[in-house]
Structure 1
Amino acid sequence: MTLLGRLLRDRRAGETHLSWNLPHLRGPGLFTLSSEDFGPDGSLPRVQCAKRVGGEDLSPHLQWTALPPGTAQLLLVVEDTDVPMAKPAVHCVALIDPATLHLPPGALDAKRPGPGVRPLRATVGHGYHGPAPVKGHGPHRYVFQLYALAAPVGDAPGATPVDRARPRALLSGLTAPVLGRARLTGVYER
């Protein structure tokens, strides 16, 4: 696998197609997203990585500063900008009740989500999927993006239910105004 990683070293999705850059997900305000498990651009602990690379797929602790007034729901998106594909890989999408003040470790688990958390479909399965980059590919950046929405995300008539929608389709189809957003990047390398 190390040879494959070296061969793909210059292929990376980049930030162009990151949900953060979608015009309809740009909000007028910013707030702060942080974690007790890693700092900005800090290394993600192995426990938060995929089981196939020795981790536990345990989502990290996340907390945020005061939300913009009128926040009806939070949308969390975690993307790998360094995957050797055309677009970032979506490692997690979740809807969060705005009364929730933080997420403890493991709160993004698809089978046992934390209170106020509704894990949605990611690139592979539901809930949080930890880092598992190709060995030797170099550092991968995992961007945790939190959006404060003015209206809850719901099932639209005739559309795929929110719980089954592909991440890119869900993100491109959001119509709720974004009141603010926050971002935190963690790094992992094998």
Structure 2
Amino acid sequence: MAVLGKLLKNRRAGQAGLAWNAPNLDGESTLALSSPDFDEEATIPTVHAAKRVGGRDLSPALTWSPAPDATAQLLLVVEDPDAPTPAPFVHCVALLDPSVTGLPQGPLDAANPSDGVRPLRSGAGRGYLGPGPIKGHGPHRYVFQLFALATPVTTGSSGATLDTARPRDVLAAAGDVLARGRLDGFYERA
């Protein structure tokens, strides 16, 4: 598997395709998003990695500064722009009630979400998928992005229900961003 990673070493989706850079999700970067589990630009602990690479697929705890009063819904997106795919790989999309002011470890599990948390489809399944880069591909950046929305997302951009909508359709349907925050962490399989 390390051979495949080395062959694909220079293939990466790139940050241009992140939700953060989508015109409909542009807004002021006024939400201070952080985690007690890892620092900005630091290594994400293995417990938060994918089960197939020795982790537990346990979503990290997250905290953020208060969202604007007019926030109707929070949108949380976790993407890997270093995946050797045409677009960043989506590790999580979740809608949060604006009353949610932080997340402990694990509430993005599709089988057992916390109150006020609605995990949606990700790149492969539903809910949080931990980092699991190809062995030998180098470090991968995992971008946790939180958007405070003025209007709730009720369907995907194609009209699909939220339970069946693809991640990109949910992101395309979101808009009216009042504030946003970002936290980047890294994970690598040598």
Gaps of 5+ in 1: none
Aligned residues: 189
> Who is 2:127 aligned against?
127
Determine the C-alpha separation between the residues in 2 that align with 1:117 and 1:156: 17
State how far apart, in whole Å, the 2-side matches of 1:166 and 1:45 are: 28
Decide whether aligned partners of structure 1 residues 34 and 150 sit closer, same or farther in structure 2, where only a CA change above 3 A counts: same
Q: Please say if 1:184 is aligned against 2:180.
A: no
2:69 corresponds in structure 1 to 69
Superposition TM-score, scaled by structure 1 size:
0.96
* CA contact 2:71–2:98 (8 Å) conserved in 1: yes
Alpha-carbon distance in 1 for matches of 2:9, 2:158: 42
3-state SS of 1:16 partner: helix
Structure 2 SS opposite 1:47 = helix
Instruction: Give the share of equivalent positions with the same residue, in percent.
Output: 57
CA distance in 1, matches of 2:167, 2:132: 19
Q: 1:87 maps to which residue?
A: 87
Match of 1:5 in 2: 5
* Cα displacement (A) at 1:162: 1.1
Mapping for residues 34-183 of structure 1, pairs under 5 Å:
34-155=34-155, 159-174=159-174, 176-183=175-182
- Mapped to 2, the partners of 1:156 and 1:125 lie a distance apart of 17
Contact 1:29/1:68, CA 8 A, preserved across alignment: no
Identify if the C-alpha distance between structure 1 residues 170 and 2 changes in structure 2 by more than 3 Å, giving closer, same or farther: same
SS at match of 1:57: coil
Q: Take 1:29 and 1:121, find their aligned partners in 2: how far apart are those partners?
A: 25
Cα distance in 1 for residues equivalent to 2:155 and 2:18? 23
- CA drift of 1:69 comes to 2.2
Tell me which moved more, 62-71 or 72-81: 62-71
SS in structure 2 at match of 1:30: coil
Evaluate the alpha carbon distance shift between residue 118 and residue 22 of structure 1 in structure 2; reply closer, same or farther with a 3 A threshold.
same
- Determine if contact 1:47/1:58 at 8 Å carries over to the other structure: yes
1:149–1:7 distance in 2 versus 1, CA, 3 Å:
same
What are structure 2's unaligned runs of at least 5 residues? none
Measure how far apart 1:32 and its partner are: 0.5
Query: 1:29–1:179: 8 Å Cα contact kept in structure 2?
Result: no
Measure the CA separation in 2 of the matches of 1:172 and 1:32: 24
The structural deviation recorded for 1:66 is 1.5
Deviates more, 1:81-90 or 1:151-160: 151-160
TM-score normalised by L of structure 2 = 0.96
SS in 2 for 1:93: strand
Distance 1:24 1:137, change over 3 A: same
